Amino acid sequence: MQFELGCQLGYDVKADGTPFLFNIEAQNAETQRVLSEQLILDPPLPSTTWTMPESGNRYFRTVAPKGKLTLRYTATVDLTSELTALEQILGMPPAELPLQVFTHLWPSRYCQSDKLERFARSTFGGLEPGYATVNGICNWIHDYVAYEGGVSDALTSAFDTVTQRAGVCRDFAHLAIALCRTLGIPARYVSAYASQLDPPDFHAVFEAFLRGSNGGSWFIFDATRMSDPAGLVRIGIGRDAAEVAFCSPFGNTGFDKPEVWIRQVGGNNLATVQGVRTSVA
Amino acid sequence: MQFELGCQLGYDVKADGTPFLFNIEAQNAETQRVLSEQLILDPPLPSTTWTMPESGNRYFRTVAPKGKLTLRYTATVDLTSELTALEQILGMPPAELPLQVFTHLWPSRYCQSDKLERFARSTFGGLEPGYATVNGICNWIHDYVAYEGGVSDALTSAFDTVTQRAGVCRDFAHLAIALCRTLGIPARYVSAYASQLDPPDFHAVFEAFLRGSNGGSWFIFDATRMSDPAGLVRIGIGRDAAEVAFCSPFGNTGFDKPEVWIRQVGGNNLATVQGVRTSVA
Amino acid sequence: MQFELGCQLGYDVKADGTPFLFNIEAQNAETQRVLSEQLILDPPLPSTTWTMPESGNRYFRTVAPKGKLTLRYTATVDLTSELTALEQILGMPPAELPLQVFTHLWPSRYCQSDKLERFARSTFGGLEPGYATVNGICNWIHDYVAYEGGVSDALTSAFDTVTQRAGVCRDFAHLAIALCRTLGIPARYVSAYASQLDPPDFHAVFEAFLRGSNGGSWFIFDATRMSDPAGLVRIGIGRDAAEVAFCSPFGNTGFDKPEVWIRQVGGNNLATVQGVRTSVA
Amino acid sequence: MQFELGCQLGYDVKADGTPFLFNIEAQNAETQRVLSEQLILDPPLPSTTWTMPESGNRYFRTVAPKGKLTLRYTATVDLTSELTALEQILGMPPAELPLQVFTHLWPSRYCQSDKLERFARSTFGGLEPGYATVNGICNWIHDYVAYEGGVSDALTSAFDTVTQRAGVCRDFAHLAIALCRTLGIPARYVSAYASQLDPPDFHAVFEAFLRGSNGGSWFIFDATRMSDPAGLVRIGIGRDAAEVAFCSPFGNTGFDKPEVWIRQVGGNNLATVQGVRTSVA
């Protein structure tokens, strides 16, 4: 399943020598292959790049002069995520989890799983471990948290959202991740190009580590229910949004509203009713 | 400089099949070599081990039956940390930082650097970047935060400590890390066996990424001023305490007070007045 | 309905001239009459007293010398609270509330009604205004919050408890008050001698302002369900616990566990199934 | 010293029967007399009024139909605040405070004095009790907290501001009040018409209870240093901003930017260098 996607970002740099760290390029991963891509900086500037080994995130830094900075990224990406029947997606207890996924059981800045223990157990403790629990969390968030801009901000965390009950995709993902972790399910934040998102924008979803038909794997979920999990092209994977900001300027900078796009090549009728496995541990 | 160290931990396991994740073994790293070591579990139990590539942390999991569980770890470790004259330890701006240390600029669960911006700039903004800033942060914490047990708990974070002004080594490290990050200095949490700590216990210190005579490096600091940075044998390195708990039981468990010890072999007169470089990025 | 009640409090005063503010005497109010009472301080000390006009709370201050301070209070109190059939207890909209009760619609230290808007509306918004809503709040707290010591402390507030879901009578009352206020129901904190509480102790309950058969009135509720509302002898009424601490020492002081008692004179079979109206606005 | 003052407020009421609670009228108090005043509602609507006995605040409620609602208030007010030489303004210890001011020692929604203990003692503990301490608090806030709109919001409290270090008059007053209370000085929030404020607006200041030449009295302070304490016409006095909102609509309502004005009659050269005593307890 191929996708053409990209973004165009514009900045008004106020001082010479302003560093920018970007994370907007599609990952190359087991189930996601970048077939072709192009990144254009205007003005043309040298950049330093790094792919984080444990996540596959592709970061690059450039140092911009005062004035206008424009970045345009385009790519064609092939997704081969494996689909798994929902009833075959089960939980994996701490005694069996691969040690390298424990990182995603620990609380993080915006996902304070250590403060949600009783809430999570009383609300979701009766669900079957595995898909049923993660899906139950997404359902609860969908039912009880309003998707609404302007209510949350960059400091808002899962502990706020669970009570304040409004936010955007980032807040939905943070709350779902925190609740999964509290219940012993490793979970991580994923920024993505998301088919069917309307209006198009960078999207935030999450992955939970569950036992599929091939053993422990990461399955992708969208707590907002606004995208199809099978049509998500992953950019960054992290403990939470702190780790995968699409742009971090180090200095005073204005910015244009980002343009983001993605369309499926030769098809547009995703409607997945199976689990989407993205990777093994 | 050699050290003999170890710990003995005892648990009262309430149910069969209780998993434990431990992180108590000394790291093998550029400047720290484990010469010999022994780990004894009583009862003898199989364990699964993993060394996290990006940090060198050594985790192991065992699954314990109901009853008493005792762990005894002993090691001889050689430290070869390089000393650097303090005035040669300078700052490194975001335009020059290696990309792999940006991880430690981001806020984490207990180090909410994103909420400390104005406080950090107004209090430390006048200091020279580099050693002077990190040392200034340690001095401020030493002067304004009381070292006192029973005031903070497992949920206490840097944002609390900066105002509540009391805590233990963990809180001191969290606050120092948060302030460094706010000021653009990558910083990470380090759990350690600490010479000269009285009474002996697992200790929490931190590392800041600065420019030494060999380029960008991690330098180790103790915001409590209770240990000598040159006599710290590192166990775990992480974004904050969430990542390097020495023991995480998954189930209801009683525990004995841990016994922890370390002594320098053939010498006991550390008094470092230089920066202690532990590793490159 | 008469009650004999009292308390004995003991302090270890560390310095001469330590002031204490107490609020442990039963109120004299429309539906609660103190028939006789005795207060003994040992050593005998002069005290300054004040009855707060808007609440009827009786405060007294004494200044103690170094050494042991003991206070013993005994009283016989007659309660004549009016009972109202539950279905006759209705809501009163802001357009009709007496202006003097608006004070108890506003957020306070431990009852941050301003942060609970969406949670309260989505959880309780479907209930009929009046008794049904307040009772629904009590039911929810009873079902979802564990009554458990040692989890909360003097800093714990309703915003914490709604997610952390454990606490003691003080926390239960704070959460109920906050939720009432968010939903437009004036609510206030009440400290009381509580019949049937086991073990006996100072108790925390709350009052909501609703429309009874005689117009707007305060009705008393116990979110813990551990006492009978008809057997509560009120001590202090306030915005939250901050205002009605039974003892506030100004200085370093040790204390004994308080002894508190209350027994119904000539009867012990309370089992109220009606609303208990304590006062008009 | 006479002042002419007033405000004009405009609302776009979205539904019939929307209640509004206002607190915008100048108080009549010991040192402040309303010589004449006029309040016009357009459309003309009946209103219910109440003067809170313990504060003198004048509240009124009206219930508005759908459509435009305009309120215009004008008044002439005479201030006779007594001036006291600064060195004569001393502290009053808890053993001597009138019991009715203890209310203003307790923590409130936005002034969590219970969480600032060590910060307050270490920062201000060395100052002389009395004027020197309150002035030291104002100086610290002036030096360390930026006066800046858009950083804080209606949920921001003193515990946030002490670290986040930016806010508006409301936040300045909250922090000053919280710090006074922590240090044993009763303090209360005051909304006011403020001469010399540029641009004119409703202003937030605070009063501290200190010992003047006539015994215990409330003295008024402006932590923003933007107004002259001798030129403040008080509207509302409360534990914090929660209690003295100038307008609380109960329902969805748009609003115009308020117009607020005040000018001294026959004089415009305030420059007080003495303490301004507004009332006895």
Inter-chain CB proximity A242 and B50 less than 8 Å: no
Contact residues for D199 (Cβ-Cβ < 8 A; gap 6+): none
Inter-chain CB proximity A164 and C119 less than 8 Å: yes
Local confidence band at B272 (pLDDT 50, 70, 90 cut-offs): low
pLDDT at B196: 84
Quote the minimal CA–CA distance from C63 to chain D in Å. 7
Which H or E run contains B261? strand B259-264
CATH architecture of the domain formed by C2-79: Sandwich (2.60)
Inter-chain CB proximity D118 and B165 less than 8 Å: yes
> pLDDT in tens for each of the 281 residues of chain D?
999 999 999 999 999 999 999 999 999 998 999 999 999 999 999 999 999 999 999 999 999 999 999 999 999 999 988 889 999 999 999 999 999 999 999 999 999 999 999 999 999 999 999 999 999 999 999 999 999 999 999 999 999 999 999 999 999 999 999 999 999 999 999 999 998 888 899 999 999 999 998 899 999 999 999 998 889 999 999 999 999 999 999 999 999 999 999 999 986 566 666 778 777 76
Q: Residue D166: which of B118, B159, B163 has the nearest Cβ?
A: B118
Phi-psi region of B3 (alpha: psi -120 to 50; beta: other; left: phi over 0): beta
Give the long-range contacts of residues C172-175, CB within 8 A, separation 24 or more.
Answer: C172/C141, C172/C145, C172/C147, C172/C204, C172/C223, C172/C224, C173/C204, C173/C205, C173/C206, C173/C223, C173/C241, C174/C110, C174/C111, C174/C240, C174/C241, C175/C111, C175/C141, C175/C145, C175/C223
Residues of C in contact with A118 (CB under 8 A): 146, 164-166
Q: Residue A115: which of C118, C144, C163 has the nearest Cβ?
A: C163
Using the Cβ of D115 and the Cβ atoms of chain B, whether some distance falls under 8 Å is answered with: yes
Nearest residue to C109 (alpha-carbon basis) of C191, C202, C178 = C178
pLDDT at B30: 87
Inter-chain CB proximity A99 and B21 less than 8 Å: yes
Q: Residue C162: which of A146, A163, A166 has the nearest Cβ?
A: A163
pLDDT at A268: 58
Quote the minimal CA–CA distance from C207 to chain D in Å. 19
Whole-Å CA distances, D227 to D194, D204, D230: 6, 10, 9
Inter-chain CB proximity A163 and C166 less than 8 Å: no
Using the Cβ of B153 and the Cβ atoms of chain A, whether some distance falls under 8 Å is answered with: no
Query: What's the pLDDT tens digit per position in D184-205?
Result: 999 999 999 998 888 899 999 9
* Structure tokens belonging to residue D162: 């002490």
CA C102 – CA A258 distance, rounded (Å): 46
pLDDT at C246: 97
Inter-chain CB proximity B144 and D163 less than 8 Å: no
pLDDT at A82: 84
Q: What does C87-145 look like in DSSP terms, one character per residue?
A: GG-B---TTTS-GGGGGGGS-BTTB-GGG-HHHHHHHHTTSPTTHHHHHHHHHHHHHHS
**Angle between helical axes of B169-182 and B131-144 (0-180°, round to 10):** 140
Inter-chain CB proximity C242 and D106 less than 8 Å: yes
Q: Residue C99: which of D59, D94, D115 has the nearest Cβ?
A: D59
Task: Return the CATH number of the domain spanning residue range A83-242+269-280.
Answer: 3.10.620.30
> Please, which chains are in contact with B (at least 3 CB pairs closer than 8 A)?
A, D
CA B102 – CA A165 distance, rounded (Å): 32
Mutation target to probe the C interface, by most C beta carbons within 10 A, among D55, D106, D113 is D106
Nearest residue to A78 (alpha-carbon basis) of A272, A269, A222, A266 = A266
Task: Please check the confidence at residue C7 and state whether its pLDDT lies above 80.
Answer: yes
Inter-chain CB proximity A163 and C122 less than 8 Å: no
Q: Residue C112: which of D107, D109, D184 has the nearest Cβ?
A: D109
Mutation target to probe the C interface, by most C beta carbons within 10 A, among A124, A147, A160, A165 is A165
DSSP bridge partners of B179: none
Burial state string for A209-222 with b = 16 or more CB within 10 A and e = fewer than 16? bbbbeeebbbbbbb
Phi-psi region of B167 (alpha: psi -120 to 50; beta: other; left: phi over 0): left
- Are residues A4 and A74 in contact, defined by beta-carbon separation less than 8 angstroms? yes
Quote the minimal CA–CA distance from C89 to chain A in Å. 29
Task: Please check the confidence at residue C267 and state whether its pLDDT lies above 80.
Answer: no
CA C260 – CA C74 distance, rounded (Å): 10
pLDDT along chain A (281 residues), means of 10: 96 97 96 96 97 96 98 96 90 96 97 95 94 96 95 94 96 98 98 91 96 92 93 97 97 94 81 72 65
CA diameter of chain C: 57
Q: Residue D109: which of C98, C108, C243 has the nearest Cβ?
A: C108
Contact residues for C24 (Cβ-Cβ < 8 A; gap 6+): C7, C9, C71, C73, C202, C235, C246, C247
CATH of D82-243+271-280, one of 3.30.70.100, 3.10.620.30, 3.40.50.2300, 3.20.20.10: 3.10.620.30
Quote the minimal CA–CA distance from A11 to chain B in Å. 17
Question: Among positive and negative, which fits the CA dihedral B42, B48, B49, B54?
Answer: negative
Q: Return the amino acid letter for C68.
A: K
Task: Return the CATH number of the domain spanning residue range B82-243+269-280.
Answer: 3.10.620.30
Question: Among positive and negative, which fits the CA dihedral D237, D240, D243, D244?
Answer: positive
Local confidence band at C272 (pLDDT 50, 70, 90 cut-offs): low
Q: What does B138-179 look like in DSSP terms, one character per residue?
A: HHHHHHHSEE-TTS--TT--HHHHHHH-EE-HHHHHHHHHHH
Q: Which positions 58-87 of A are in contact with B (Cβ < 8 Å)?
A: 59-61, 63
CA angle C53, D158, B224 (to 5 degrees): 125
Inter-chain CB proximity C164 and A122 less than 8 Å: no
Q: CB burial class (10 A; 0-12, 13-18, 19+) of residue D82?
A: middle
DSSP bridge partners of D205: D190
Quote the minimal CA–CA distance from B154 to chain D in Å. 17
Whole-Å CA distances, B73 to A118, B7, B12, B218, C63: 35, 5, 18, 27, 56
Burial state string for D221-253 with b = 16 or more CB within 10 A and e = fewer than 16? bbbbebbbbbbbbbbbbbbbbbbbbbbbbbbeb
CA angle A16, A18, A23 (to 5 degrees): 150
Q: Residue B103: which of A61, A106, A243 has the nearest Cβ?
A: A243
Task: Give residue for tokens 């204005």.
Answer: A254
- Are residues B18 and B253 in contact, defined by beta-carbon separation less than 8 angstroms? yes
Backbone angles phi, psi at A88, to 5 degrees: -95, 0
- Are residues D179 and D159 in contact, defined by beta-carbon separation less than 8 angstroms? no
Inter-chain CB proximity A49 and B99 less than 8 Å: yes
Rounded to a whole number of angstroms, the distance between the first and last alpha carbons of chain A is: 23
- In A, minimum Cα distance to C179 occurs at A163
Whole-Å CA distances, C6 to A77, A145, A168, B94, C220: 77, 48, 54, 67, 21
* Structure tokens belonging to residue B277: 């470089």
Residues of C in contact with A161 (CB under 8 A): none
Q: Residue C107: which of D94, D95, D242 has the nearest Cβ?
A: D242
Whole-Å CA distances, D164 to B119, B187, D144, D161: 6, 21, 10, 5
Q: Would you kindly state where each structural domain of chain B is located, as residue ranges? A: 2-79, 82-243+269-280
> Please, which chains are in contact with A (at least 3 CB pairs closer than 8 A)?
B, C
CATH level 3 topology of C82-244+272-280: C8orf32 fold (3.10.620)
Q: Where are the beta strands (DSSP E) in chain D?
A: 2-13, 18-22, 32-42, 47-51, 58-64, 67-79, 82-84, 146-147, 166-167, 187-194, 202-212, 215-221, 232-238, 247-249, 253-255, 259-264, 275-280
CA B168 – CA B174 distance, rounded (Å): 10
Query: What's the pLDDT tens digit per position in D16-75?
Result: 999 999 999 999 998 999 999 999 999 999 999 999 999 999 999 999 999 999 999 999
Using the Cβ of C147 and the Cβ atoms of chain A, whether some distance falls under 8 Å is answered with: no
- Are residues C153 and C138 in contact, defined by beta-carbon separation less than 8 angstroms? no
Quote the minimal CA–CA distance from A111 to chain B in Å. 8
Q: What is the pTM of this model?
A: 0.89
Contact residues for A26 (Cβ-Cβ < 8 A; gap 6+): A5, A32, A34, A37, A75, A77, A193, A233, A234, A235
Inter-chain CB proximity B118 and D164 less than 8 Å: yes
Inter-chain CB proximity B165 and D115 less than 8 Å: no
Inter-chain CB proximity B159 and D162 less than 8 Å: no
Q: Are strands B166-167 and B146-147 parallel, antiparallel or unpaired?
A: parallel
Q: Residue D95: which of C17, C102, C154 has the nearest Cβ?
A: C17
Tell me the count of C-D CB pairs closer than 8 A: 86
- Are residues A108 and A66 in contact, defined by beta-carbon separation less than 8 angstroms? no
Inter-chain CB proximity A102 and B21 less than 8 Å: yes
Q: Are strands A166-167 and A146-147 parallel, antiparallel or unpaired?
A: parallel
pLDDT at D277: 78
- Are residues A62 and A251 in contact, defined by beta-carbon separation less than 8 angstroms? no
Contact residues for C197 (Cβ-Cβ < 8 A; gap 6+): C203, C226, C227
> Please, which chains are in contact with C (at least 3 CB pairs closer than 8 A)?
A, D
Q: Which positions 159-188 of D are in contact with C (Cβ < 8 Å)?
A: 184
Using the Cβ of B216 and the Cβ atoms of chain A, whether some distance falls under 8 Å is answered with: no
| Better-predicted residue by pLDDT, B277 or C190 | C190
Query: What's the pLDDT tens digit per position in B170-200?
Result: 999 999 999 999 999 999 999 999 988 888 9
Using the Cβ of C155 and the Cβ atoms of chain D, whether some distance falls under 8 Å is answered with: yes
Nearest residue to B136 (alpha-carbon basis) of B217, B194, B204, B221 = B221
Q: Are strands C275-280 and C215-221 parallel, antiparallel or unpaired?
A: antiparallel
Quote the minimal CA–CA distance from B103 to chain D in Å. 23
